[in-house]
Structure 1
Amino acid sequence: MRSLTEHDIRNSFVNCSKGEAKRLALPRDLRACPWTDLDFLGWRDPGAPDRSYLVIEREDGLVGVALRSSASPRGFLHRSMCSVCLTTHPGGGVSLMTARKAGAAGREGNSIGVYMCTDLACSLYLRGKKVPESGTRFEESLTLEEQLARATGNLSVFIDKLYV
């Protein structure tokens, strides 16, 4: 992913108002982000633990999405799988992230959801730059490039549903 500026990020959001996008908490140091290892930028709002954000670069430009996550803690023995990168996590390592739809549907209260890594670090898990709390990822026969393409494809399907 290319390096993004605050202006790029704030102007990319499709499911919140310009005022909401202007007020949302950005990652503290954008220059320190591992851009070459990211397929999308994802972060949690430190002041509001149920709020997360992601920005992905697509053919039609940047798309930013404001997300809400469920706060239901799960037991450590419970394991869940991220539907984007297919990494499994114990406990609360995967959360249901919901996003208001874009446009009139979102203003009417319609939303969609996806189960994602709670820390939104899918790109880093796939590349082995971050290890899941359980300490392992399942071995796959796909190459890293194929896994990355699958993850961005899964995320794109979610993004596409924002407009339907």
Structure 2
Amino acid sequence: MKQLTAADVRASFINTSLRERKAVTLPAKFDTLAWTDLDYLGWKDPKLPTIGYVVAHLEDGPTGIMLRQSVGRTRSRPQCSWCEDVTLPNDVHYFTARRAGPAGRAGDTVSTLVCANFECSANVRKLPPMAYTGFDREAARAKRIERLELRSGGFVADLRHTA
């Protein structure tokens, strides 16, 4: 992911009000993030534990969204829709995000299952287990990174559709 400034991050949000945008608490250690190891920037708001933020690089630049975590518990262990890691060391939560524009103001939302603290970029960079003799683990890791970028970016891009 390309490095962003705090102003870039705040200006990128498409489904927030101006007041919400100004109130965004940036992630801890924002100035020292390893941007090259991120497929998207995602974090939970330390002041509002059920609020999360995601910024993805789309074709026309960085695009940010605000998500709300569902407070209910699932009956089984869900799989993250973005990294699709079946051996996750972390929890997965159900997040909902308003669409941008008039549709979002009218209550139109989109939901997904995502790693609780948006650890997908770290998860896909782990070497997968050896599936069979001759399995190319590096190629599998590269494919997982590529698919994460497509799924997370696709979710963010979908929120721009206002009709």
TM-score bracket, shorter-length normalisation:
0.7 to 0.9
Within 2, Cα distance between the matches of 1:89 and 1:111? 29
Q: Does the 8 A contact of 2:14 with 2:160 survive in 1?
A: no
> Does the C-alpha gap of structure 1 residues 139 and 83 become closer, same or farther in structure 2, counting only changes over 3 Å?
farther
Q: Does the 8 A contact of 1:4 with 1:30 survive in 2?
A: no
TM normalised by structure 2 equals 0.85
Aligned residue type for 2:42: G
Identity %: 35
Bigger radius of gyration: 2
Alpha-carbon displacement from aligned partner over 1:70-111 (angstroms, at most 9, x marks no partner): 122357xx3211010102367981111110000000010110
Q: Does the 8 A contact of 2:56 with 2:156 survive in 1?
A: no
RMSD between aligned residues: 2.3
Within 1, Cα distance between the matches of 2:129 and 2:104? 36
Aligned residue type for 2:71: A
Q: How many residues align?
A: 155
Which is strand-richer, 1 or 2?
Answer: 1
Q: Secondary structure at the match of 1:150?
A: helix
Equivalent position of 2:59 in the other structure = 59
> Does the C-alpha gap of structure 1 residues 31 and 92 become closer, same or farther in structure 2, counting only changes over 3 Å?
closer
Equivalent position of 1:148 in the other structure = 145
User: Which structure would you say has the larger RCO, counting Cα contacts within 8 Å and 6 or more residues apart?
Assistant: 2
Q: Does the 8 A contact of 1:42 with 1:120 survive in 2?
A: yes
Equivalent position of 1:30 in the other structure = 30
Within 2, Cα distance between the matches of 1:153 and 1:99? 18
Within 2, Cα distance between the matches of 1:41 and 1:59? 16
Q: Does the 8 A contact of 1:38 with 1:123 survive in 2?
A: yes
> Does the C-alpha gap of structure 1 residues 91 and 36 become closer, same or farther in structure 2, counting only changes over 3 Å?
closer
Equivalent position of 2:3 in the other structure = 3
Long gaps (5+) in structure 1: 130-136
Q: Secondary structure at the match of 2:3?
A: coil
Within 2, Cα distance between the matches of 1:59 and 1:23? 26
After TM superposition, give the deviation of residue 38 of structure 1 in Å.
Answer: 0.3
Q: Does the 8 A contact of 1:79 with 1:90 survive in 2?
A: no
